[in-house]
Structure 1
């Protein structure tokens, strides 16, 4: 009897592992294909061999500028920002056990955006200052939300409602800054707020790339503890998880990568909101969905950018397309949660 149960457990785990590997590999393949598509497509379509030659440092007439200077930084921005939004959103949704508890909805992205817009319009600061302010804005917003939601006991529903209120307040601040801004600064701020990969360059992307590469291993190392936090505070503690330290490390890591992604590309709407649920649905249970969520984020950003560039007569920023994709899901989720009485 015991042997039969052990065999069933082993078979089930093997199937789940096989599904995880297949899904993750498939998502990585799609992300890779979209990356190459972004490098090849534009006003002029370049073949794969020309793109490879440019990436290897050869001088190819026309392609060197189009691919090396414009398309490659745009693709890198989409990859790293998409991964950061996907992973960061998944962490908050899993840790707080609610699909609404993501950076877009609870105001973290709005905090980064308000700080960045203040630097653009009022201080007329450099891109580096905007990036630093965006990070501190996101961290400050997280601290305020958690302090206000603490009360006598921690409540996820209270945190989400306070976060939504903070987001509304910060959006009002952003609107005021746009109202008092100088005419030549407003287009820059509006383009940034829409969430766009336009104008990306490798120099400005360096902080985002370094931060994602540094903190992703830390987040992955805490993957098991993150899954235990999803079981609840008492269950995680009984399993030996230091919930306070784990939550702090995950919050700091995710806010840093999200804030720098926001500073680099603007607040690309709903990528953090959609990536985690899609990844969980595809991967299933039993294995961490951190990397799949990041890959889904990359796919959403790159695919939406391609749609915005080539599917319509006019060209639209990537944030407009992701907003169109994410808004119906947000409405559906709010209706479902309201029926269950979770808020």
Structure 2
């Protein structure tokens, strides 16, 4: 990033981490730095997420008008069906969609920046598959509850993180090799998942198979609690460590010079991203490509190579929410949202690979 600056700008960034596009505001003894365009885009995305939630609460086989929605929100519904569809059916589903989309996108942004690789997303390098193994073991082999499934998914993701960490230390994995090893780990995890399903009682296996596609159907307040608690715990940690990204972009040596404990910051960010992946998978299944596509879209919208985690999170929330609306209402019968994200993500991945190939040829 310093290479993009020159003269006094480069010296200023090396000393303070502030670039010419940053806005600095002093609040008492503290200073707050933010990129003007990135902040504006994030605010717009957040507003679109709110609009998405309102639309999701109103549309469907039973339509709830704006006035009826306002009556439900203020606690004075005119009809019981209005409250049932808004509060019991649609609100938990859209909140899970927004939370899972935000969590997966934030995790993808962290992975891509820490590994400096545009393909380093949880579903590509094996974290999603690892968390799916943990959840399936709990659901099928142990007959666990939703809470236990969330714990199992988080443990599976952390186990994948540990394996990749050990292989990185031993083999010095970077770039393409990291992606290839992640793909191999994901394939091994999927084979373990399929084996568990083949040994399971048929109805349980059918339910688990539907869950493995990635679906938001039938999601209730229990899943909202899982995702909400995870975001509430992890978001402050990401906010604290977010400033370390600017220093880590310059390399561990420069980061240490600037007073950032690079090893501790990397481990904290990786742990936060891994927990987000595990809880998201436990709540909605292994929904693919949100973690890969949303950070790229956020960088394109903000025109910032190191677009913030929160911009990516808002993009992911909007992307998964829109995908769920399409899955629910654009076909004669509802389809799992994972079908939509895989279709969109497959095209996006092909485009990304072609673009990277052309860039390297030039």
Q: TM-score, normalised by structure 2?
A: 0.86
Partner residue of 1:91?
110
CA distance in 1, matches of 2:9, 2:96: 50
Partner residue of 2:221?
202
CA distance in 2, matches of 1:48, 1:263: 33
Q: Could you list the runs of 5+ residues in structure 1 that have no partner in the other structure?
A: none
- 1:4/1:235 CA distance change after superposition, 3 Å: closer
CA contact (8 A) 2:167 2:173 kept: no
Matching of residue 120 in structure 1 with residue 139 in structure 2:
yes
Matching of residue 282 in structure 1 with residue 301 in structure 2:
yes
CA contact (8 A) 1:94 1:227 kept: no
CA contact (8 A) 1:87 1:294 kept: yes
- 1:284/1:235 CA distance change after superposition, 3 Å: farther
Partner residue of 1:33?
51
Partner residue of 1:185?
204
CA distance in 1, matches of 2:294, 2:220: 25
CA distance in 1, matches of 2:98, 2:236: 17
CA distance in 1, matches of 2:140, 2:8: 68
CA distance in 1, matches of 2:166, 2:357: 25
Q: CA deviation at 1:176?
A: 1.6
Q: 3-state SS of the aligned residue for 1:184?
A: helix
CA distance in 2, matches of 1:78, 1:63: 21
CA contact (8 A) 2:299 2:306 kept: no
Matching of residue 44 in structure 1 with residue 62 in structure 2:
yes
Partner residue of 2:316?
297
Structure 1 residues 6-54: Cα deviation after superposition (integer angstroms, max 9, x where no partner): xxx997446x943223211211121111111111111111012222322
CA contact (8 A) 2:215 2:285 kept: yes
CA distance in 1, matches of 2:9, 2:338: 52
How many residue pairs were aligned?
Answer: 339
CA distance in 2, matches of 1:108, 1:262: 10
Superposition map of 1:138-153 within 5 A:
138-151=157-170, 153=172
Q: Could you list the runs of 5+ residues in structure 2 that have no partner in the other structure?
A: 1-6, 11-17, 24-33
CA distance in 2, matches of 1:255, 1:11: 33
RMSD, matched Cα: 2.6
CA contact (8 A) 1:81 1:265 kept: yes
Which structure's relative contact order is higher, taking Cα pairs within 8 Å and 6+ residues apart?
1
Q: CA deviation at 1:339?
A: 6.1
Partner residue of 1:269?
288
- Answer with 212-221 or 96-105: which moved more: 212-221
CA contact (8 A) 1:30 1:299 kept: yes
Partner residue of 1:244?
263
CA distance in 1, matches of 2:302, 2:289: 20
Q: Work out which of the residue numbers 224, 235, 258 in structure 2 matches 1:216.
A: 235
CA contact (8 A) 1:109 1:138 kept: yes
Q: TM-score, normalised by structure 1?
A: 0.91
Q: CA deviation at 1:81?
A: 0.7
CA distance in 1, matches of 2:69, 2:311: 27
- 1:239/1:29 CA distance change after superposition, 3 Å: same
CA distance in 1, matches of 2:172, 2:321: 41
